[in-house]
Amino acid sequence: MRSYNTSRRVSSFSSRTRQVFLPNVDEELDTDGDETAVALQHVATLRRGLLRLKGPPRATRIEKEMGMPLHAHIRSSLHLYKYLLRECERLPEKHRLYYKNHVRQGFQQHIDEDDPERIQQIIIKAVEDAKWVVKKWSVFSAALMEDRQASANTSLLNGVKVWLEKPHVVNARVVGSVVLGRALLTRKEGLSLIAVVEEKTLVVPDPQTVRELEQWRVQDWMNGPLPELLEETVAVLRELVPKGTHQGKLYEVVILEPPFLEVSFVPLQEKREGPVISPRVPYAFHLGTDGAISLTFPFPLCPVSQKWLQEKLLPKLQKWTQEEVTSRPTSLALVDLRKYVQVYERIKTKYASFYVQNWAEHTDPGKHVHEDVGIAAYLISLWKKDGADCTPSFVDLGCGNGLLTHVLTCEGFPGKGVDIRARKSWQLFPSTHLIESAIMPDSTYSEDWLIGNHSDELTPWIPVLAAHSSPTTRFFLMPCCPYAFSGKFQRRHSRKSIYADYLDFLMELCQVWLISKVESQSACILKVCGFDVKQDRLRIPSTKRLALVGIPRPTTAAEQIQRLQRISQFVEGCSHSPKGFHVREPSPVRNCTKIPQNISERILKEVLLQILKHSSVEGDWNTGGQIQLPDLVEGLSSDTLRELKLQHGGLQTLLKNNSHIFICKKGLVSLHQPTPVDRESLDRSSKAYQKWKTRGCFLARFHPNGCPLATESC
């Protein structure tokens, strides 16, 4: 009888088939290398078993020679072939066809094998390996299904969290939501959920809502956010905050049920007339075993609400479940959302419309007015949160157009605005304390709050100024353009955006930990500026909406001295701060509007005389002629040209600034002949009617024939 080295032949066969089998397994299974190699060996053994068996005579001869029966139902190669095909049906559908192809290829090939012992070994080994492969695939499939289901549960929960905490991103009729409480639920003993809801909301639900909630009992109250994976049923009671002056109370009970996550939204609304803010009938989202999200309605729903849920909310929820969860802060997290809406609507009605229509700057009035109104509403809500009678003082550093300072002052908060350059809009706020002055690093302020709204170079200095002013001074900061202590901020980490890196720098400045060694070699951890800094996101028409609110920690006099010393060391040693502090120079005015009046009148008089010399029309009043601008410049004295150069402008700019006297067009200059205006025929709301004479008539003073108009119509 022959003897065969079975292990050696199996090893060589596996090495030949692995080149074809391994890429498909890695692509389909995504298992580790060891498990894949073992599976390959057994599949190779199965295939080789088919290559060794071909007909019934061989099986009968094996039984006679071996004196032992084969497997009860495998007596030939055909039996083994059918058995392996049946075993393939037990594999996952995704991989079933691949294994069947291997079995068929092995059956079509024939390799003569006369050794009954060897054939018996192959049959037994093939059956054992087939059972092992099926069992292994079942374990893989169960684990994969469990992971996918857990992932789907987590994804749906993440999507529900967005709708739970930020409903305004879908529903334009609400500003946001306020979570009033979370509780673990059970269907057994405990406090009735409907009783808790009625107590917390003071709203009596309708009968269908009662039927939805009366089956649940409160098992325990939860603190903090929802867990990532739910193992028990959880109820969340939230209030929807509507936009505008809507006075009704809108509550919802959200019930989340494992294991195949189901989320039910049960509305609680007061009976009232008016537009529908949110669906008034319960609805639910269900996650099926296939990972699909379905929307169900236990009660009839009005067509408008049903269409909105199907076409607006459901697609958004599906999108959120597929997106990666980010840790962006929730907007308006530090204020009472309900009070913020009331304050914002009130001051928007009071100020926005007027200042949009009468905006004096060359900027977009809609954007800047509503931006400052939103910031003012946020600050008022933040300050009122500490107490109804709290009226802190403030100083707005780098106040710009001054509208924010004006609104806060008019709302009863004492304060002032400081900027290095006055703005035209300051004339609209005569009663507001606005100061044109440079701000130095050693400046101190007695006000309670320092405000930095897009303050550019002042941004990193505001926490420092707050720390130097007093141990209790707070700050509100909205970073925009990245500046360090002196000059532009240089990005430190290339993988982050410059704005994100700049925010990290500001947080380090406000509350970074400095480690210094003491005699005991232990780390002495100290704060630089000693502020508790919280981040929030405002809802304003600006791309930079992140705000930093700094609250100082209580300190003793000795700790305050050490605090100021640490700040000085940090500023001096900061890599972003060149030595010395440079105050921003006032922006030069380059439009010839700052020329002294006596010099301006002298230049205009010289131009007038040259134009009158080129007159070609006879009449009682000399209209002059047209003259080329270069010829006009040659006729001016060198002192006159020097004065224009010092004002960063030229003769053409000066003439266009006085368009009521001269016409300067396409390089030609002529005299503007005045025409009478009938004020009675003008619309009283027009700008022409609202114009009034503010200075003496230039032609009446310097034209040889005087002004052609009467005094009352000039």
Q: Give the per-residue pLDDT at 354.
A: 92
If residue 178 lies in a helix (H) or strand (E), which one and from where to where? strand 174-186
Q: Is residue 635 part of a domain?
A: yes
Cα separation, 334 vs 532, in Å, equals 13
pLDDT per residue over 154-169, tens digit each?
667 778 888 888 899 8
Query: How far from the centroid of its chain's Cα atoms is residue 66's Cα?
Result: 77
Same domain? For 313 and 424 the reply is no
Q: Is residue 691 part of a domain?
A: yes
Q: Which amino acid is at 637?
A: S
Q: pLDDT over 70 for what percent of the chain?
A: 61
Mean pLDDT over 338-349 rounds to 92
Same domain? For 395 and 544 the reply is yes
Sequence-distant (≥ 6) Cβ neighbours of residue 293 within 8 angstroms: 156, 285, 286, 287, 314, 317, 318, 321
Confidence of residue 613 (pLDDT cuts 50, 70, 90): confident
Q: Does 76 have pLDDT greater than 70?
A: no
Last residue of one domain, picked from the residues 573, 588, 618: 573
Cα separation, 280 vs 250, in Å, equals 10
Q: Is residue 46 part of a domain?
A: yes
Confidence of residue 452 (pLDDT cuts 50, 70, 90): very high
Q: Is residue 472 part of a domain?
A: yes
Cα separation, 380 vs 173, in Å, equals 23
Same domain? For 111 and 210 the reply is no
| CATH classification of the domain holding 442 | 3.40.50.720
Same domain? For 413 and 556 the reply is yes
For residue 553, the enclosing domain spans: 391-573
Answer whether 301's CB lies under 8 Å from 286's CB: no
Q: Give the per-residue pLDDT at 496.
A: 83
Same domain? For 317 and 251 the reply is yes
Same domain? For 560 and 627 the reply is no
Most confident option among 102-106, 113-117, 555-559, 680-684? 555-559
Last residue of one domain, picked from the residues 112, 143, 174: 143
Same domain? For 625 and 498 the reply is no
The structure tokens listed for 380 are: 């008022």
Tally the domains of the chain.
4
Q: Does 297 have pLDDT greater than 70?
A: yes
Q: pLDDT over 90 for what percent of the chain?
A: 14
Same domain? For 496 and 623 the reply is no
E-state strands within 513-589? 513-517, 523-527, 531-537, 546-552
Same domain? For 182 and 249 the reply is yes
Same domain? For 121 and 255 the reply is no
Same domain? For 278 and 401 the reply is no
Q: Is residue 336 part of a domain?
A: no
Q: In the 8-state DSSP scheme, what is residue 310?
A: I
Confidence of residue 585 (pLDDT cuts 50, 70, 90): low
Same domain? For 556 and 663 the reply is no
Q: Is residue 10 part of a domain?
A: yes
- What is the sign of the dihedral through the CA atoms of 472, 478, 479 and 481? negative
Q: Does 445 have pLDDT greater than 70?
A: yes
